[in-house]
Structure formats: C-alpha cells, structure tokens
Amino acid sequence: MKKLDRYILSKYLTTFFYCLILFTAIVVVVDVSEKTDNFVKSKLPALQIITDYYFGFIPRIDAMLFPLFVFISVIFFTSKMAERSEIIAILSSGVSYRRFLLPYAVGGILLSIILWLGYQYVVPKANLKWGNFETKYIDGSTGIESNTYSYKQKLYFKMDSNTYVGIKGYDTITKSGNGFFVQRFLKNKLVYNLRCDQFNWDSTASKWKLFNVEQRQFDTLSERITRSTELLIRYNFKPRDLRKDTYLKDQLPTPELNELIQLERLRGSESLNTLLVERYNRDAIPVSVLILTIIGAVLASRKIRGGSGLHLAIGVMISVLYILFSRFSLVFATKGNFTPFIAAWTPNVLFGMLAFYLFKKAPK
C-alpha cells in the first residue's frame, strides 16, 4: 500500500467514524427526548436503561444508517480534496482514475465486511435487547385478553405437509400453555389426533411436556385410544417459534433464521416472504456500502462551483432514492408476488449500474 493509498484510506475511515459518532449522538438525544415519559414511568435507574435499552438501540440504528454514514463521509472528505485541488494533482502525476479509486474500494470492502458480520450476529442480539425493553416498557402491552407480547391466543400452524397444530393459549415468558392439539391427515382423512389440557417446555430435555394427554389413531375399521397423565415428546417447533411477534425475525442470528425459514417453508407459512427478505437483506445491504462508496467518490471528485455543499445535497438525494427503492421492494415482496431475492438485490443492481455509468462519464 502506497502513501497515497494510506492517505485516502485514513481520510475515509476517520471521517466515517467521526460521522458515525456524531450522528449516533444526535439520534440518541432525539430518542431520549421522545421517550423521557416512558423512562420515567418505568421507574428504572438510568444505568439499567442504558444497558437494557441503548446497548441494543445504538447498534440497531447504526446498522440501519450505516450505508448513509458511509456515503456522506465519502462525499464530504472527497469534495474537500477536490476543493484543495488535491485530486487534480494526483491525476496529473500520472495516477489513473481507476487507480485513484482503489483505496476507496478497499475501504468500502472493509466496511462492508464489518457491516455483514454485524448483521449476521451482533445486530440480532442488539435487536433482542432493544425489542424486549420496547415491548415491556414502551409499547405498554398488558393483559391476556388479546394477543400481546407475552401471551398468545388461538395459534394455528402446519407442523409439516400433513400435520396441523392448534393452541388455545400460550405464555411466551413461562413457555407454557393450554388447549393443545395435533391432527395428522393422510389422503384427506384424519389418521391421528392428540389433545392435552396443559403443556410446557422442558428445557433440560429440549422437548414438550404434555399433561392429561389423549391420543387417537384411526384406520379404516377401528380406532385406538391411548391416555397418559404425562407425556414428553419432541416436535419440530420450539418456544421461539410460538412467539410470532414482529421483532422475531430481526432478533435471530443468521443460522437460527435459516433454520426458522426451513421450518416455515415446510409449514407453508404466509410469513415466509418476510423472513426471506430479512435473510437476503443481511447480505445485500452490506454490498450497498461498496456501491455507495464508489458513487460518492466519483460524484465528489470533480471540482465544481458550490463545493462540498452541492455534493452533500446530491448525496442526500441519492441516499433518499436508495432508501425509497429498498422500501418499495420490501413492500412488493411481503405484500405482493415479488421474489424476495430480487426484492433485496434490486436496489444494489440499479445503483450498481448508476455507479458504473458515473465512473464511465467522470472526467479522467
């Protein structure tokens, strides 16, 4: 790595982390002002609010705005270099434009890897911490008369292509419930039926413990009934699968999310597309960091009247367009027939083409 590469890369990273810290502080101050009443009502000490809420909130919001921070920081320090005619001097010395962009690409790849690792493991844990606090102290979900965060009623789903499960009520905190039944069909005929009054999760055996169980097996001419006071049995769903809250997909590390996707695909779940979009976005969003880095470098490397202010305005406009494309793709994938993989990667493809076009048209 040459001195020029170290110079540009150090400018890139220091500006990015400064931008990250500054905007994070602003977001935290705004969030504190909005949720002060909730914090006061929770009667929690300040230290616990910081550890239980903001240790989850900050990684979550930073990951969400990470590409925007990258884009703004690249445009800011590159436009300053252009104003001081540093880029003109670099290109006039015989350095090709492609070679000039190499440290930008290296920095973009480095930050993309950091964001990718964060999305796979760190951000889900942060979302879990933030989500638990949000639902307990902010959303104000109380009571068991309806489906709340801790208590679920009338759960029905497919365990596999022929087996259906129903639960009258389930408490996600105690991992226990009532009114449990399993029905298995073969060629549209009921061949097995299980019912029990109470059930709970046995964490030691990693199985479900059923109480007052009645099992019925049917064949063409007869019916066999088996009754048990207590039965320990393994099913292909776990307590986390019964939560069914909007935060679940964001709180699972990628290996667990992949496992949940396989189960939901087997069950024919209606929420499968939402899970798939989340999974593909964890790979697609980090790639956008590299794409936006190249776009920002190409846009800001040209010395124009208006300086960094105009460059930043253009950068914000492009960032808004990228976010809009991402939101539209998400809506079409979850509410329509848009393929989740295409929905996640379409913004990258479109803005990748824009980056290539700007590179070709940039003054060399």
Q: What is the CATH number of the domain that holds 190?
A: 2.30.30
The SS3 call for residue 190 is strand
Give the mean pLDDT of 107-127: 95
Q: How confident is the model at residue 227 (pLDDT cuts 50, 70, 90)?
A: very high
Least reliable range by pLDDT among 30-39, 203-212, 244-253, 291-300:
244-253
Domain match, 32 and 119 both: yes
Asked if the model's pLDDT at residue 67 lies above 80, the reply is yes
Domain match, 117 and 213 both: no
Give the mean pLDDT of 250-257: 91
Q: Is residue 246 part of a domain?
A: no
Q: Is residue 265 part of a domain?
A: no
Q: How confident is the model at residue 149 (pLDDT cuts 50, 70, 90)?
A: low
Amino acid identity of residue 118, one-letter, is G
Name the residue with higher pLDDT: 334 or 70.
Answer: 70
Domain match, 46 and 126 both: yes
Give the mean pLDDT of 136-141: 68
How many Å apart are CA 342 and CA 348, to the nearest integer?
10
Q: How confident is the model at residue 141 (pLDDT cuts 50, 70, 90)?
A: very low
**How many domains would you assign to the chain?**
2
Residue 205 sits at φ, ψ, to 5 deg, of -90, -10
Domain match, 278 and 193 both: no
pLDDT of residue 240: 80
Domain match, 191 and 332 both: no
Q: Is residue 187 part of a domain?
A: yes
Domain match, 177 and 228 both: yes
Domain match, 156 and 130 both: no
- pLDDT-above-90 percentage for the chain: 44
- From residue 159, give the alpha-carbon distance in Å to each of 89, 236, 268, 291, 312: 66, 7, 9, 41, 52
Domain match, 232 and 133 both: no
pLDDT of residue 143: 39
Domain match, 131 and 9 both: yes
* Stated pTM of the model: 0.80
Q: Is residue 122 part of a domain?
A: yes
- Neighbour-count burial of 168, counting CB atoms closer than 10 A to its CB (0-12 exposed, 13-18 middle, 19+ buried): middle
Domain match, 173 and 299 both: no
Domain match, 17 and 127 both: yes
Q: Is residue 53 part of a domain?
A: yes
Amino acid identity of residue 167, one-letter, is I
The domain in which residue 173 lies consists of: 151-239
Domain match, 12 and 104 both: yes
Boundary-marking domain end, from 217, 239, 261: 239
